[in-house]
Amino acid sequence: MIDFETKFDGLVNEIVGTQKKIDVCSILGVFYGLSKEGLPRLAFSSSSASPKLKSTKVLRVEQGWESPLVYWTCFDLLQPDAKKAFCAFCSNLTEAIEGFIDEYSAFLALRRRYAIWKMMFKNNSESAISPEKMQGLFGELYFLKNHLLRNCTPSEAVRAWGGGDGNSKDFAIQNTWYEIKTVGANSTEVKISSLTQLESENEGHLIIIKVEGMPEPFEKDDSCVGDLISTIISKIEDEKVEEAFLAKLSNYGLNSSCDCFSDKFDVKSVKQYKVDSEFPRLINANVPYKEICRAEYSLSIGMLNPYLEE
């Protein structure tokens, strides 16, 4: 996976309009640099015209020819606060056209991949999620990448994730389920937001991830949502699975202009608890009053040790 973030950071003193070639095994040439306005740019060169692609409010697409045998397709980032998402986009589009030896097939792959990413580059400020919800999303993606992808296929992992679909469980796979709670490093309790969150006839698992918010210079693997998205996408080979993953991110409320897209977290601990009939929980069956149809409660993390799993 190409580290476009480092590459674009290295262009600070470059003249606008500069483009540098990247060594990629593809019939299309791949370049990165700055547009004439100084905007971060990913560009593809070819000997024939590419399919027409439409711009978004965050990404501008410029297409044209330099000479009869040199055509360009360029993607310019219009909004600086979407840089983290743009770098993931650049890496993914570059991977999409690798290995092709004819331009027609490479362009089809490029067009399909861009169509998938367009949903992430909607400029819809009303759907931007809060820092608290972003922390929760971070925990879910962290679990997906570091647990599910090690134990099942990308297709199974993405299908298992509730994402923004409104499911009662964060992950449901085969005959079990996982509820992810991401809390501050010093938290002593975890909030359960409904009677159905830990309710199921099947045995499940409560995952408590403790994190500490870190300043921007913090560098560590899996430290922000943007990095996790890039890594997860790099492991997905099926285009439909990738489309489903990005759709779930969009449904979650995430888009490329979210202010906290690159918020940094340091994972302090990950603990897994078995949730069965012995686990202390409130569910519909053990609420004594039928009039109570909704309830929230908190669990003391320190008191959950008897249910801790290896």
Instruction: Please give the CATH number for the structural domain made up of 4-123.
Output: 3.30.1460
Instruction: Locate the DSSP E strands across 215-305.
Output: 264-275, 297-300
pLDDT in tens, 27-73: 999 999 999 999 999 999 999 998 899 898 889 999 999 988 999 99
Its pTM stands at 0.75
Of 198, 238, 211, 263, nearest to 113 (Cα)?
238
Classify residue 132 as exposed, middle or buried by CB count within 10 Å of its CB (0-12, 13-18, 19+): exposed
The pLDDT value recorded for residue 48 is 92
pLDDT in tens, 118-156: 777 765 555 567 888 889 999 999 999 999 999 999 999
- Please state, in angstroms and rounded to a whole number, the distance separating the CA atoms of residues 241 and 248: 11
| Cross-strand pairs, 300 | 189
pLDDT in tens, 276-302: 999 999 998 888 888 888 899 999 999
How is the chain split into domains, by residue range?
4-123, 128-307
